[in-house]
Amino acid sequence: MAGQFERHPFLLTAQDVAQALETDLERGLSSTQVAQLQEKYPPNELDIGGAIPWYKIFLKQLFNAMILVLLFAMALSFGVNDWVEGGVLLAVIVLNVSIGFYQEYGAEKKMDALRALSAPSAMVLRDGRTQVVPNAEVVPGEVIILKMGDTVPADIRLFEAMNLAADEQSLTGESVPVEKIIEHLEDEELGIGDRINIAYGTTTIRKGRGRGVVISTGMQTEVGRIAASTTKKKHKAGRSMNYKKYGKRQPIIGLARRIYDFVGKFLGLTEGTPLQIKLSKLAYMLFGSALLLAVIVFAVNEFHVPKEVVIYAISTGIAIIPESLVAVLTITMVVAVTVMRKANVVVRDLSALEALGGVTNICSDKTGTLTQGAMIVRKVWIPAKTTYTVKDSKHPSNPTEGIVTFSEQDDQNQEPEKRDFDQERSAAVLKFDVPDEKLNPPKRKEKDEEEASMSIELEAFLLSAALCNLATVRHEPEPKEGFPEWQVTGEPTEIALQVFAHRFQKGKKVMEAEGWKQVSEFPFDSGIKRMTVIYDGPNIDHSMVFTKGAVERVLDLCSTVGVGNSQEPMTDENKEKIIKQMDSFASQGQRVLAVASREWDGKYKEKTSPGNHEGDDALRQRVESGLTLLGLVGIYDPPRKETTPAIAECSSAGIKVHMLTGDHPATAEAIAKEVGIIPRNLGILGHDVASAIVQKANDFDKLSDAEIDALPELPLVLARCAPDTKTRMIEALRRRFAYMAMTGDGVNDAPSLSRADVGIAMGSGSDVAKSAAKIVLTDDKFNSIVAAIREGRRMFDNIQKFILHLLTSNVGEVILLICGLGFQDESGFSVFPISPLEILWINMLTSSFPAFGLGREQASRDVMRKPPRNRKRGVFTNQILIDMLVYGLLMGTLSLMTFVIIIYGANDGQLGVDCNREFSDACVPVFRARAAVFAELTWLILVSAWEFKDIRRSLFRLNPDDSSKFPLFKDVYENRFLFWAVVLGAVSVFPVVYIPVVNRNVFKHTAISWEWSLVFAATIIFVTGMELWKLAKRQFRLLEDAAVVRGAFSQGSEEGGRKFHHTFSFSSLKSWRTIGRTHTTDTRASTN
């Protein structure tokens, strides 16, 4: 912050601030001062980071773990002059790097288009004259002139404010514009949202005008500090090299740990998503296995290693490395990213979508994310004991959507006090009956509410609400593309009132068309929190005074309640009833306003004087006296219509949704109940859980980490959140082994977006938030997050399928080659059961395209009914590992038996001489055996791709709901890419086996005849073996996925909780009390 302030500027008078900054509030800075300050301070810009340079994206793709292993294998192949094999590996590397680079570079270009400039210019006072200057040229001490619609260029201490209100939603999360004052404040502990004499950079002026002096610019503003916190690197514990603080050994320990971090990051073993780390470990494990196999090959040959032995060793190593894995994985991710882009989800990093599929918790902002970020009238109370309710309206600006019902019953009348059955229960009993009234609380009958019709009392309320209002509502029957049919302008609260009046055709324009004419206005004043207008009406000989504002401020000015026959004096008893009614609305998350009016004695003739403030205050006091209360109105920010179903789907998928908002606790709790984040009836939860799931941020912040970890459930609703509260919540989830996503659109969300495992920003949000996030939702819809999670899980399931497919073939090939070491010819060299080029052909062409097809498989029906995967195991669950060994062993054994039958059964063990290098008559049996093994291995791998469409269900009945007698063809043809990949792959065997010259000189095999019977027989046996193993898994429930663990209620439920049977065991009650631990940690069956 610029200047040497004794205390923060919000605690100082405007004159003290100006003195500290050496500026003149009436003339502003001089040109000389501006030039000096521009040299002293950096430009007034936010350093939120631009696009990632292309070379960094390229290097990130090149130094992938699997690519490094392939580079080593390529170098070794070229080293022994095996140009074909080396060339193929080079092509694989180029393909992998190119695809990854193209996708990530394209995502960055997409983000460049989303980045928008906020506040490109500012109106300043320099040398006593107003000037419009680029925003970057604003310096501390500058006097800024603000008006409605302006974006505040920097943090400003206001010294003039005329009906000034700023929209600070992007900074604080509060959807209601903040009324500004100029007086200094006393409380040093005020948060940024309560420093109402400060206008913050990047916020917008919603109404009024004002002037202020710049106190900080660029990265020193509140927005800049938040932006800086998102890019600031956090050093891991124990990496310090300060020996004075930590002892003489610390420099050595710190250096060693830093080297470990660097090497681990370079190799991809310590940083990245779970899948990235697992695949990096797999790459190095396979590389180690390849070296071990090479040693075995050398040992069998007594470490006499001519070129032929080296080639065999390389072939064995290549057989264990899935060369196409990186390409298949990258293309699968690219396809998923493309699908999500069409669904309005921009993925900035290929790995982010995979990470999203493993999310266990979502920390979401409320305003604009779960809700629409707009205001709508929910309830209106008329003193005639009538409550009007707006139902089925999800678009705040559309007065034709939904209906308005009314009830003669006071909304404040609550159900009679209930017994606390939780306290009365005895823990000693093993079973108990839950009272029916507890399970099924009585609801208000729908027949008590009828569709609203016009009444004298309602008409009086609507007249005041419509005319004491500056908002406009306009209907465009044929709107322009991208614009709604109903267009509104003004402050959100006034828009809500105007829309409600339009529901009864009593909008401001209609009333003025009927003859109502405004004669005076007393604008909203944040000090007294009310607004008043005076109108002359048609066919009446007196003026009317209309007032709206905060209930407690309007109530004190009222002498009567109601109109017509129901009018009563404002007694203490009536006032108490009105206050209770206000509390009832507020407890439902509504902002409550009072609407009042009075008849002026005759026509209003008084005039205000610009310089006579005392006279104007006296006149206003006289006008705003003796009012008649017409009613109360409850206004709220409605949830998006897709929010509750999206939360329900998250719940069914084992994902918990947390609301972290800057709103008032009562508002946050009410919205959380409405969208299903917490149950409407907290009594279904234990007392300790119920008290923990809704908290204020200051209460949460007071807890130590140990106290937070001891909570039975982390808060599902955190109100009045500051940025530090959100990041602390994320760290608390991380200590419970959760993998969390953070959604948000404001600057205040940026620290959490950067620190969360997956940051999801809204497309309409701030540049700071988008730069901190890994994923951007261009349509701002919460259900797009669920679609992204579903796509992430689909992709992850498919990754498991094609990894199983690729590694199964690798296991089969290794078994074949290792056993093949025993097949030695007359010169003592081991004979290839399958040649190196055949291995590369199978790994790169035969396996790759079916693997691509498996990556395109549709999501299974239960993809969102399974718990998030175990991050410690990743894709390599026990089921995948055991399946890989079972199927690989079966594949390798069948291939080996085919080779043995042809060589030893039909040709008396004739292995020829030097058959690894060239063809001769003595090598015919070996070449025919290789051809048979090649064809068989190819078909087994291809058929396994169809089998892996579902790793548990039979290939002959993939869909249990299908009533067809033989749905095989329909099921395999459903994924046409996979179908044709398998069919064409199977057909491609014939030209490879039979084309002259190529078959003998390149692939080291020759044409076959009767051997096809062995290939067909092995294929049938292999399919039978796979089906029997799947049957055993289903029949004995082997290696089954765990079910989603539910707590006492399901988030997103319409009733706020699940229905239970009336009798249940005490142990089940105990499990309810620990819903936090079961939902925020990975819960898996022991098989995983």
Question: Residues with catalytic annotation?
Answer: 365
Rounded CA gap, 855 and 329, in Å?
8
Q: Give the phi and the psi of residue 1029 in degrees, each rounded to 5.
A: -65, -40
Q: Which residues contact 1029 (CB under 8 A, 6 or more apart)?
A: 883, 886, 887
Give me the sign of the Cα torsion angle 913, 915, 917, 919: positive
Q: Which amino acid is at 671?
A: I
- Measured over the CA atoms of residue 907, residue 913, residue 916 and residue 918, the dihedral's sign is negative
- Label the pairing between strands 558-561 and 627-636: parallel
Q: CB of 139 within 8 A of CB of 456?
A: no
- E strands, 148-195, in order: 155-167, 178-179
Q: What distance, in Å, lies between the first and last C-alpha atoms of the chain?
A: 53
Q: How far apart are CA 133 and CA 310, in angstroms?
A: 72
CA atoms within 13 A on the CB side of 924: 8
**Cα 846 to Cα 26, 306, 542, 558, 955, distances in angstroms:** 80, 31, 91, 85, 20
**832-869 in b/e burial notation, b at 16+ Cβ within 10 A?**
bbbbbbbbbbbbbebbbbbbbbbbbbeebeebbebbbb
Amino acid, single-letter form, for residue 379 = K
Q: How far apart are CA 1085 and CA 537, in angstroms?
A: 74
- Greatest alpha-carbon pair distance for the chain in Å reads 125
Determine how many CB atoms are found less than 10 A away from the CB of residue 737: 12
774 close to 742: Cβ distance less than 8 angstroms: no
- Looking at residue 269, the DSSP 8-state letter turns out to be S
- The CA distances from residue 859 to 290, 852, 884, in Å, are 35, 15, 22
Which has the closest alpha carbon to 57: 132, 121, 111? Answer: 111
Beta bridge partners of 569: 560
- Got the DSSP string for 961-984? T---S--HHHHHHHSHHHHHHHHH
Residue 2's nearest CA partner among 19, 22, 21, 15 is: 21
Q: Which residues contact 644 (CB under 8 A, 6 or more apart)?
A: 674, 675, 676, 1052, 1054
Is there a contact between 851 and 324 (Cβ–Cβ < 8 Å)? yes
Judged by DSSP in three states, 665 sits in: helix
The DSSP symbol for 904 reads I
Run of H or E including 475: strand 472-475
| CA dihedral for 414, 415, 419, 421, sign (positive or negative) | negative
**Please, are residues 141 and 2 in contact by the beta-carbon 8 Å criterion?**
yes
Q: Name the token pair of 541.
A: 């000989």
User: Can you tell me the distance from the alpha carbon of 663 to that of 394, in angstroms, rounded to the nearest whole number?
Assistant: 20
Helix (H) or strand (E) holding 206: strand 204-216
* 857 beta partners: none
CA 216 → CA 2, 186, 227, distances in Å? 5, 21, 15
Residue 162 CA, distance from chain mean position: 40
Under 8 Å CB-to-CB from 731, ≥6 apart: which residues? 705, 755
Strands (E), 602-712: 627-636, 656-660, 694-696
